[in-house]
């Protein structure tokens, strides 16, 4: 019998399929199961709308049969089936949806290899040719007496012949290719592999996907078994439904138990701990979707590395179309795991197309709001739980505030926690604001290695004395966060170490100007002794009981310098250092005495000592620790 030729564009597509360099060949099974499921749907629908079609929905199923001897894999359904004309038009032409696009792309002179074939077109059925060198489709349309067999070896055409088939439905029989270099086709004949693929891609198909599997079980104990009977085991072949059919997220919230939510999470996302929270949500209207999102209780080990990939699983009516759809999650919520199911996406939508998909953007925006809402709710209602969240993912939220030039700060600022000098525990910015005395001009913060160290900073004292609260920041990123926040409702963030952190009264201003004037000879002498080490030496307006401290002039703060020093690479930014002296302190008096006596040697010694102390207080390294040690010791002699 003469072979019929595929339509021109189908032929090209088949060529691509047969010689596919596509790496995800395994998705052929998903495609065929999805077609089978559609066929069941169509029959179920017929039954629903036509009394003459008595179909028992519970009998609808998809059967998978591997046969190692014959090297065949068969996907069967008992759905609507196809008539001769259906076979001709459905499997003789490439799916209508894709063909137009396909023609266009080729017309633009693109090389076929460059095209992500699977991604771009509705090529479902043809993907069988990625793993099979011969495909037979045996089908009988519902309500017809005659069955037909469609056969093809790929690009050189197909035949259709009459044949026998008992019940309506379709069998797709693939003759699996022999293994080639680097390509293992044998695996598609292995029960365990097929089970794995069904679980992975088609778990939520609404019809049972059944397969005969080995069940290893204990033989029944014989009646006459004696005292010393040892149980015997046997392998029994058994038909089993592989898929779980009803996606958890499709069920009404009220019908899902906490345990079911948790088990789903642990199984799916390979965590051994229960999640911190689950968000089960849906929308109908412009975009229709269901989503089930989880906030883990711990960061995965690779979370803060490049290896970690963010993203949500994307399903289209129960069929997985993308494992990690990154565009569904903003970076600041990249810790969220979960699934989104929307019938609005076609099965074969490609990553490139998805990226620019408006519906995806709408869903992502809605989910971002949901996630934030849930976090705020936990923060208010379960503060302890929120602390757990915060210790796992707080830094990610902070990075989010800093990222993209602070674009997301409004979205994220409610989620931030900082250590409160007043409360002795973490506080939100809102709670801080609520406690703020009326005359407090700024949100105050101070950065350092630990809360204890910050609390002892000389600059901090004067602000606490005023009864103002300070946010103690111990993370590297904190200083950047404060800079990114800038201000909230017109109230600025101010480092407690800044010279003008406390606005001065006219009187105070005058007094400090006088002090600075009187101190001039001392300051000049110290500057001369220290040379380029410091940009300036001045009488401090910020010290209370301490004798000395370091502050920075210019865009680079001391905190930033400390942070940069920790980064690898050696090169680092340095802050322009200002040495501040407390004119009311005893060491200052001693220094002044030496200056007035013209004792240059002592002045130099004191200047170096004071500078060394200032560095130590600022948690910066001494330039010459040996010299500093010697200076300190010399004081004792």
Select 24 or 253, whichever has its Cβ closest to ligand ADP.
24
Give the number of other Cβ atoms within 10 Å of residue 60's Cβ. 22
Show Cβ contacts of residue 499 under 8 Å, excluding neighbours closer than 6 positions.
Answer: 541, 542, 551, 580
Beta bridge mates, 136: 151, 173
The C-alpha angle 47, 91, 29, rounded to 5 degrees, equals 80
The C-alpha angle with vertex 445 and arms to 440 and 446, in degrees rounded to 5, equals: 135
Q: Which is nearer to ligand ADP, 39 or 73 (CB)?
A: 39
For ligand ADP, the binding residue among 20, 90, 152, 395 (CB under 6 A) is 90
125 binds ligand ADP (CB under 6 A): yes
Strand order in the sheet with 426-427: 426-427, 418-420, 470-473, 443-447, 491-495, 487-488
For ligand ADP, the closer CB: 46 or 572: 46
Q: Are strands 536-539 and 470-473 parallel, antiparallel or unpaired?
A: unpaired
* Contact code string over 29-68 relative to ligand ADP, x by CB under 6 A: ------xx--x-----------------------------
The reply to whether 427 sits near ligand ADP by the rule CB under 6 A is: no
Q: How far is the CB of 247 from ligand ADP (least distance, A)?
A: 21
| Strand ranges across the sheet with 536-539 | 536-539, 576-581, 548-553
Q: Does 318 bind ligand ADP (CB under 6 A)?
A: no
Stretch that binds ligand ADP, among 75-83, 106-114, 206-214, 274-282 (CB under 6 A): 75-83
* Pair 496, 459: CB distance under 8 Å: yes
Question: By CB under 6 A, which span of 74-82, 238-246, 263-271, 392-400 interacts with ligand ADP?
Answer: 74-82
Site for ligand ADP contains 138 (CB under 6 A): no
Considering the rule CB under 6 A, would residue 170 count as an interface residue with ligand ADP? Answer: yes
Exposed/middle/buried for 459, CB within 10 Å: 0-12, 13-18, 19+? Answer: buried
Minimum CB–partner distance for residue 184 and ligand ADP (Å):
25
Instruction: Please identify, using beta-carbon distances, which residue of 82 and 457 lies nearer to ligand ADP.
Output: 82
Interaction between residue 79 and ligand ADP (CB under 6 A): yes
User: With binding defined as CB under 6 A, does residue 122 bind ligand ADP?
Assistant: yes
Asked if 171 is part of the footprint of ligand ADP (rule: CB under 6 A), the reply reads no
Nearest distance from C-beta of residue 91 to ligand ADP, angstroms: 6
Among candidate residues 434, 430, 437, the one with its CA nearest the CA of residue 416: 430
Q: Identify which of residues 121 and 419 has a Cβ nearer to ligand ADP in the complex.
A: 121
Q: CB-wise, 66 or 124, nearer to ligand ADP?
A: 124
| Window contacting ligand ADP (CB under 6 A); options: 72-80, 143-151, 245-253, 318-326 | 72-80
Residue 73 to residue 191: CA distance in whole angstroms: 10
Compute φ and ψ for 468, nearest 5 degrees. -90, 150
Shortest spacing between CB 127 and ligand ADP, in angstroms: 8
- CB-CB contact of 325 with 292 (8 Å): no
- Which C-beta is closer to ligand ADP: that of 95 or that of 595? 95
The full DSSP string for 413-429 is GGG--EEETTTSSEE-H
Q: Cα 242 vs. chain centroid, distance in angstroms?
A: 29
For residue 608, the surrounding DSSP H or E stretch is helix 600-617
CA atoms within 13 A on the CB side of 222: 9
| Residue 77 binds ligand ADP, judged by CB under 6 A | yes
Nearer CB in complex with ligand ADP: 139/428: 139
- The distance of closest approach from Cβ of residue 305 to ligand ADP in the complex, given in angstroms and rounded to an integer, is 39
Nearer of residues 77 and 479 to ligand ADP, judged by Cβ: 77
The reply to whether 168 sits near ligand ADP by the rule CB under 6 A is no
- The two three-digit tokens of residue 486, written as one number: 């800038």
Piece of the chain touching ligand ADP by CB under 6 A; list 78-86, 256-264, 373-381, 561-569: 78-86
Interacting residues toward ligand ADP by CB under 6 A: 35-36, 39, 77, 79-80, 82, 90, 95, 122, 124-126, 170
């Amino acid at each position: 019998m003469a072979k019929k030729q595929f339509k021109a564009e189908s032929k090209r597509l088949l060529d691509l399929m047969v010689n596919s360099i596509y790496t995800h060949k395994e998705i052929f099974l998903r495609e065929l199961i999805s077609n089978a499921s559609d066929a069941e749907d169509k029959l179920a629908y017929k039954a629903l709308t036509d009394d003459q079609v008595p179909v028992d929905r519970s009998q609808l199923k998809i059967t998978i049969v591997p046969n190692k001897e014959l090297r065949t894999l068969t996907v069967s359904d008992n759905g609507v089936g196809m008539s001769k004309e259906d076979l001709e038009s459905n499997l003789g032409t490439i799916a209508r949806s894709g063909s137009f696009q396909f023609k266009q792309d080729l017309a633009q002179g693109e090389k076929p290899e460059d095209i992500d074939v699977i991604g771009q077109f509705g090529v479902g059925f043809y993907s069988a040719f990625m793993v099979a060198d011969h495909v037979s489709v045996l089908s009988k349309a519902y309500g017809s007496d005659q069955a037909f067999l469609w056969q093809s070896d790929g690009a050189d055409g197909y035949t259709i012949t009459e044949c026998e088939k008992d019940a309506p439905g379709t069998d797709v029989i693939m003759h699996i290719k022999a293994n080639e270099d680097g390509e293992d086709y044998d695996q598609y004949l292995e029960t365990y592999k097929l089970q794995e693929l069904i679980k992975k891609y088609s778990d939520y198909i609404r019809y049972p996907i059944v397969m005969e599997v080995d069940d290893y079980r204990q033989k029944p104990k014989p009646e006459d078994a004696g005292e010393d009977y040892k149980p015997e085991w046997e392998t029994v072949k058994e038909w089993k439904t592989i898929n779980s059919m009803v996606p958890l997220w499709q069920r009404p919230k009220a019908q899902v138990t906490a345990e079911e939510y948790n088990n789903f999470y642990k199984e799916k996302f390979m965590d051994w701990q229960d999640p911190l929270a689950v968000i089960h949500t849906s929308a109908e209207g412009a975009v229709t979707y269901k989503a089930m999102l989880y906030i883990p209780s711990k960061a995965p080990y690779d979370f803060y590395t490049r290896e970690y990939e963010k993203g949500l699983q994307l399903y289209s009516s129960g069929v997985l179309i993308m494992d990690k759809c990154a565009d569904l999650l903003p970076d600041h919520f990249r810790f969220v795991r979960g699934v989104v199911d929307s019938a609005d996406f076609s099965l074969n939508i490609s990553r490139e197309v998805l990226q620019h998909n408006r519906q995806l953007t709408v869903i992502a925006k809605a989910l971002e709001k949901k996630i934030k809402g849930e976090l705020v709710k936990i923060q208010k209602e379960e503060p302890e739980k929120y602390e757990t969240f915060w210790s796992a993912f707080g830094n990610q939220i902070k990075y989010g505030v800093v990222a993209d030039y602070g674009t997301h700060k409004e979205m994220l600022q409610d989620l931030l926690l900082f250590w409160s000098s007043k409360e002795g525990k973490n506080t939100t910015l809102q709670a801080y604001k609520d406690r703020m005395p009326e005359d407090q001009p700024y949100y105050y913060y101070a950065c350092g290695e630990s809360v204890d160290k910050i609390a002892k900073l000389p600059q901090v004292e004067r602000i606490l004395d005023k009864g103002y609260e300070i946010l103690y920041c111990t993370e590297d990123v904190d200083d950047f966060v404060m800079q990114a926040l800038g201000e909230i409702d017109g109230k600025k963030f101010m480092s407690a170490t800044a010279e003008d952190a406390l606005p001065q009264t006219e009187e105070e201003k005058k007094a400090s100007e006088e002090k600075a004037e009187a101190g001039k000879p001392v300051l000049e002498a110290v500057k001369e002794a220290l040379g380029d080490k410091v940009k300036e030496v001045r009488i401090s307006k910020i010290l209370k009981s301490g004798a000395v401290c370091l502050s920075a002039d210019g865009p680079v703060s001391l905190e930033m310098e400390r942070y940069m020093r920790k980064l690898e690479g050696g090169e680092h930014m340095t802050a322009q250092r200002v040495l501040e002296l407390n004119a009311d302190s005893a060491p200052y008096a001693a220094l002044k005495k030496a200056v007035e006596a013209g004792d240059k040697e002592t002045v130099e010694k004191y200047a170096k000592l004071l500078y060394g102390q200032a560095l130590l207080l600022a948690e910066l390294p001494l330039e010459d620790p040996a010299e500093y040690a010697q200076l300190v010791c010399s004081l004792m002699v």
